[in-house]
Structure 1
């Protein structure tokens, strides 16, 4: 029996979900691929222990967030970004919302962005998010509240998304 038994199957089964998380954290497909690849290299080194007595998906998700935050701390040159396209007939409202939301997420700090991604895209509970981030539930609530307030300031055109009753319930 190889110490990496099951790793390939895990990656094949969870790759899309992990890539989505990496993309939502980084906001860039190429950076997301790099992030996921660097994390999977770490995960394969821990695979024997994880497959025996751990939760490999939770460990991998936490490693993604930690690696992303670590990358954000390193100084790097500014990356150019495209402006939001003019509202026109060629772009539907949902697509425009996604573009604006991605740009607004990029303006959040790494921890706030991680909280928003984990809570609203990964649909984790406050307790699960706290576990992934290694902080208290109160910290998750506070970070979520502040991140949503910042998103409302950065992108007021997304008010119809950010004023959703489900989101309002989370920030109480």
Structure 2
């Protein structure tokens, strides 16, 4: 579900994407039952790409479910996480897929390349471009300047 959400940035679409992927996997279960995870991941990415190309406009949930009350100090982490997801949402589809697979799903460059059907070099270049965009994204900018008063 995490991969689907990070690709779509929408809980309802992520659920639809995951259900579609699992349905497709169910039909191929006899072939993939020994190691279904890579196959399901590939279905997720491919289905997402198909929906994106078709500009899929399925149903959207209008009300977000309430989030549990975080403990003290958790708001900063939640805000940073939200800023990161927002910035990732501004990445092009392929760059977002590479970042999600490499850093969230913790796949190797070779596994990511195989899953996306591209070369390892493409994974490296897309990762580099995505990280460069994230580094300069204003939502992720932090004030690291220090003054002499801060040092005293």
Same fold (TM over 0.5): yes
In the superposition, the TM-score normalised over structure 2's length comes to 0.77
Select the residue among 154, 163, 171 that pairs with 2:137: 154
Aligned-residue RMSD, C-alpha: 2.4
Partner deviation per Cα, 1:13-45 (whole Å, 9 max, x = no partner): xxxxxx111111111111100000011111111
Conserved 8 A contact 1:101-1:155: no
Partner of 2:36: 56
Runs of 4+ in 1 over 6 A off after TM superposition: none
Structure with greater helix share of residues: 1
Unaligned runs of 5+ in 2: 63-71, 144-152
Conserved 8 A contact 2:4-2:18: yes
Greater gyration radius: 2
Tell me how far 1:99 sits from its aligned partner: 0.9
Unaligned runs of 5+ in 1: 1-18, 81-88, 161-172
Select the residue among 45, 52, 70 that pairs with 1:65: 45
Partner of 2:106: 123
Tell me how far 1:109 sits from its aligned partner: 1.4
Conserved 8 A contact 2:95-2:126: yes
In the superposition, the TM-score normalised over structure 1's length comes to 0.68
**Cα distance between partner residues in 1 of 2:74 and 2:86:** 16
Partner deviation per Cα, 1:43-93 (whole Å, 9 max, x = no partner): 1111111126xx31100001101111111112356x99xxxxxxxx98722
Instruction: Figure out how many residues of one structure are paired with residues of the other and give that number.
Output: 131
Superposition map of 1:17-166 within 5 A: 19-51=1-33, 55-75=35-55, 92-155=75-138, 157-158=140-141
Partner of 2:147: none
